[in-house]
Each structure stands twice: as C-alpha cells, then as structure tokens.
Structure 1
Amino acid sequence: MELYTNLRKGEKGAWISIGAYVFLSTVKLIFGYLGTSEALKADGFNNLTDIVASIAVLIGLRISQKPPDENHHYGHLRAETIASLFASFIMAAIGLQVLVNAVQSLFEPATATPSLITAWVSFFSAVIMYAVYRYNLKLSREIKSSAVRAAAYDNRSDALVSIGAGIGIIGAVFGAPILDVVTAFIIGLIIIKTAFDIFKESVLTLTDAFDEDEVETLSVLVGRVPGVITLRDFKGRNHGNVMFIDLTVSVDPKLNVVESHWITEEIERKIQFIKPDCVILVHIEPDTSFLVIEKDE
C-alpha cells in the first residue's frame, strides 16, 4: 500500500533531523559553556528537545507501519500521535528549565560577556537547519506526509531561533550583556509554545476532533454529486495521516443497487481526489419525501 511505503520514506527525514540535532546540540552546549553564552546554551537545550521530538516521530512512523490486527482494526496509525504527545511533555519540561536558568542569571551580581565565536556558532547552526528544512519540506510534498511537513516547519523554527540567538549574543558582546540572557528567556518561551502546540494537536486528534472547515468543504463536495439528495450525517476522525470519513446520504428510492453503488463510488472518487489518504464509508438511504409524494398521488 502506498501509505505504508510513504511512511517508510518519511523515516529518512526523521533520521536526518536526528543526526543534525545531535551534532548541533553538542556543538552549541560545548561552545555555550566555554563561551559563557546563555542564549547559545538555551538554543542547545532547544535542540535536545528536537531530538526527542524527532525520535518520537521516528518511533511513531515505525509503529504506524504495522498492519491491522484483531485488537487494532484500523491499524496502528495513531502511534505517531501518542509519541508526539509524549514528546510535548519532555519539551515543556526542558523549556521550563531554560526559563528558570535565564531568570536566575538575571539576578546574578554580574553577567559575563559571551565570546563572539558563540554568535558564529549560532549562525552556522541556522544555515544547517535551513538546509534540513528545505530537504524535509521537499520530502513531505513527495510523500504527502503531514508528520514530515511538521518536522520541516520545526526545522525552520530552529533556524530562526539560532539567528535570534546569534543577534542577541552580538548585542551582548558590544555592550549589552543582558541581551544574551533575555534571548535565552525568549528561546525558553518558544520551546514551551512549541510543546503546547504539539500537545494541543495531539489531544484533538486522540479525542476524534475534526476540523469544521474540512466538514464544510467536503459536505459541499458531496452535495454536488449527481444523485445525492441530502447529506444526512457526516462523521470524521484522523488516525495519523489517514482521514476516516463516515457519510449517510439519501437518494431516490427508485434507484437500483447498481445505480446507488455508482453514487457511493463517485463520492469516494471526488473526496479522494483532494484527500488521497482518506478512507470513506458511505451509507445509502432512500429519501422518504419521494415515498410520501407517491402515496399522495
């Protein structure tokens, strides 16, 4: 199945992100401590959370590839979402630690001026992360993976954070040491904000929430299918990157089985044209208004 092939391809992007984050977090933390830069150390801890997030995506992609079994009739596609939820807790914990360290630094008697080399380390890291972002974004478009696309956007955010850290360090070097600490505090807030966004999205998915805009768009699409009189019920939920949709539509009761089946196939074709990774179940019911009209006649 193409879906599982794409999941395997998505692992490559996760491994590249993990490799980049391991290298950059090590370099940032070493130079951050040697160069006395709170901003660079905070950025290094930020990359540590990204390692956890990338590993979670990798584990989720692996488990999601397992086929359905007697206890998981819809497969294991939600494993990726559970892994993301777990990663959000770890990210939030590290973000809070970064904030605590930054606040403590503000109340220290004197703040050491960071070394200028720590700024160049930040800018170097930004270049690497932007390259990883471009690769993962291209991969996500090829395999149509929302998880890899989210990882790409996280890569881009990390590149921007590194640029911000570099600017803060330069400001500290040239006469404003507090800018380094303030930048570290802002990075801590960014880590927590990212953790909250991942947590929110994961919870919504696990509780079967469904985008209202998607409901409206797909409902209009179904209503335009020839033969559909009324869309009586619409239910949607997400399992990983796969969307499951249950529909109940009313049709002319005079239609035979073949004609009714054609309507269900046309509904599936139109939805899958804009939502390729979508499993659709259409239930056909006779429109009772036709029966009432015939009885009156």
Structure 2
Amino acid sequence: MSAQHHPVDDEQLPPEITRALTRAVRLEWLTIGTLAVTVILVFLVLGNSQAMKTAWVEDLLSFIPPIAFLVGVRITRRPATAKHPFGHHRSVGMAHLVSATALLVMGTYLIVDSGSKLITVEHPSIGGIQLFGTTVWLGWLMIGVLVVTGIPPVILGRMKLKLATPLHNKVLFADADMNKADWMTSAAATAGVIGIGLGWWWADAVAAIVIAVSILRDGITNLRAAVAGLADARPTTVDNKEPHPLNADVDAFLRQLEWARVGAARVRDEGQVFQVEGFVVPRTPDVATPDRLDAARKQLLALDWKIRDVVLIPVNTLPRVLEAEEFEGHSH
C-alpha cells in the first residue's frame, strides 16, 4: 500500500507563484549585475568626497539583500525531512535578519564617521583629471555617474515591489524598498559634490550623514520585522503595517464549521509560508471525528498557497491567548 501524500511533504508552488518567483530571481540577478557596474564606476570617481564614499558603501551594502534572497529561496526549495520536519522556510527570515543587521551596523558606523568629519571641520576638495588632453573637474564625472547609476535601482525596485506581495517575501520587499529610494542617495551625494564645488565644506559631510541615516532607518525597520517574524509574532502583510488577512480568513473558516461551536487559530509566519495550529470546540465530543478533522485540514490547505501546514485540535475550551472578544458568542 502506498503512503498517503500530504501537501507538506513537498515544496510545490502554484504555477502563477512559480512564475513570479522565477521573475523575482531574474530581477535579483540583474540587480547584482547592475550593482557590480555601479560599484566600479563610483569607485573610479570617489575623490575626496565623504558623500561619494558613503554612497559607495551603500552600493556595496545593496549586494546583501539580493544575495540573501537568492540564498533563502534556494534553501526553501529543500524538502522537509525527519531532521527538519517543518521544512526550511525559516531561511527567508534568517536572511532578512542578516540583511537588516548589516544595514544597522553600517548605518551607525557611517553616521559616526561622517559626523566626525563635520565636527573636525574637514574641508574636502575635488580636483581635476585629464581627459583627452583636457582638464575636467572630477565633480562633473561624479555627478554624471550618480545620475546614470541612480536610475536602474529605482526601476528594478518598482518591479520587485509588484512581486513581493504575491510572494509574501519580506526580503524581496526590503530590497525593493531600498532600491526604490536610491534616488535619494544619488540626490544627496550630488548635493554634496555641488556643495564642495561652491566652497561649502560642510555640505559634503551633511550629505553623507543624510545617506547614512537612510541606511540606518532601513536597518532598524527591517530588523524589527525580521525579529518579530523569528519570534513567532502574528503574521503581518509584507510591508509589516497590518495583520495579514489570512489570520482572519483562517479564524472565519474554523468558526463556520457546522460541527464546531467555536474555533480559532494560532498562525505562524515561516518566511514565505504559514503554519496553522487550529483549535475547535466541537458541539459534542463525538462529532470531532478523524474524517471531519482531516476534511477541514485539507480545506484550510486549499484556502491559500501560503498555508503550508495545518494541525487541527479538538478542545473543550480555546487557549486563553485566543479567547478574544471576537471569538466569543460565535456559536452556531
């Protein structure tokens, strides 16, 4: 007799989600290629500008989210095993944590470094270079590189944002959000370079601090979200602003079971997928049969592709944490 197949035993995704994931992977590889060119170009025109150096460091940090996404996605494809019975979906959350920590640490360092330049009243200078026998102010090259390299990340970021929500991938969302705001880095660095050209020595350090604060803000926002996810907080939308709609959908499904008096669930965000631990109070003890529980479990699995695993438990009363007002009085 062949073993019964359970959805949790494989990592198959719906066709439309597989296509979205494939596209996201391609965008991240394109991002890495674009960043490689950007890092080289910015390095060639760094000069003595603190703002340019900070923008260059941000470009280096921008490698972390796409790499974390690609590694996380690859690991999640590994099937569940006896050693890892829940699969490897937490790798997305761990990748999110690594990205956020790197942004937080480097953002803090850059604020201190740039702030020290401001305190010590350091006067940066930008000289000229010889191009085709003509002396050209290096600042013009800096501005040109900043403008050219600042456009692709914004376009890529908007494309990734469209995929982050259906994939429920917070690493992809964080990367897209950073890319979308990269024009601010280019604008700030450009302002710093122009400030040096006008003789405003402080403009360069101030621009560097603005860029560093942006990096730090991204780090703090993503660190909070990553820690909350790994600490089994209630699942939220990909932007971490609202409770995820599936929380309510799962509870509504359990409450409408004809043989149940009341029901509610604890939902755990595993990275891209959810695990559901449902509790139902049956009308009478005899109605919570294995067949009914299994049928309800399969219906929950079919509710949304993100619901990866479901455990249903018949109980006399709901766990205290679930005894909220919205669950009281919902008897059929």
2:205 to 172, 177, 181: 181
Aligned partner letter, 2:86: Y
2:307 to 263, 274, 278: 278
1:210-289 matches, within 5 Å, as 210-211=234-235, 213-214=243-244, 217-218=248-249, 221-222=252-253, 225-227=256-258, 228-231=260-263, 233-253=264-284, 255=287, 257=289, 263-269=296-302, 271-272=303-304, 276-283=305-312, 285=314
TM-score (norm 2): 0.72
Offset from partner CA, 1:38-71 (integer Å, 9 cap, x none):
2122111001111123222221121121111121
User: Is 2:112 aligned against 1:100?
Assistant: yes
Determine the C-alpha separation between the residues in 2 that align with 1:71 and 1:256. 31
Report the RMSD for the aligned CA atoms in angstroms. Answer: 3.0
Aligned partner letter, 2:75: I
Determine the C-alpha separation between the residues in 2 that align with 1:256 and 1:206. 33
1:196 Cα offset (Å): 2.3
Aligned partner letter, 1:14: E
User: Is 2:69 aligned against 1:50?
Assistant: no
**Structure 1 unaligned residues grouped into runs of 5+:** 289-297
- SS of residue in 1 equivalent to 2:46: helix
1:22 to 23, 36, 41: 36
Q: 1:202 to 1:266 in 2, by over 3 A?
A: same
Report the structure, 1 or 2, having the larger helix content.
1
- SS of residue in 2 equivalent to 1:204: helix
- SS of residue in 1 equivalent to 2:181: helix
| Structure-1 residue corresponding to 2:133 | none
Q: 1:224 to 1:169 in 2, by over 3 A?
A: farther
Instruction: Give me the identity figure in percent.
Output: 20
1:280 Cα offset (Å): 4.7
Determine the C-alpha separation between the residues in 1 that align with 2:187 and 2:165. 26
Task: Give the total of aligned pairs.
Answer: 281
1:72 Cα offset (Å): 0.5
- SS of residue in 2 equivalent to 1:32: coil
1:78 to 86, 90, 103: 90
| Structure-2 residue corresponding to 1:195 | 219
Aligned partner letter, 1:197: T
| Structure-1 residue corresponding to 2:81 | 69
1:107-186 matches, within 5 Å, as 107-112=120-125, 115-140=139-164, 145-186=169-210
- SS of residue in 2 equivalent to 1:147: helix
1:230 Cα offset (Å): 0.8
**Structure 2 unaligned residues grouped into runs of 5+:** 1-11, 127-137, 237-242, 318-332
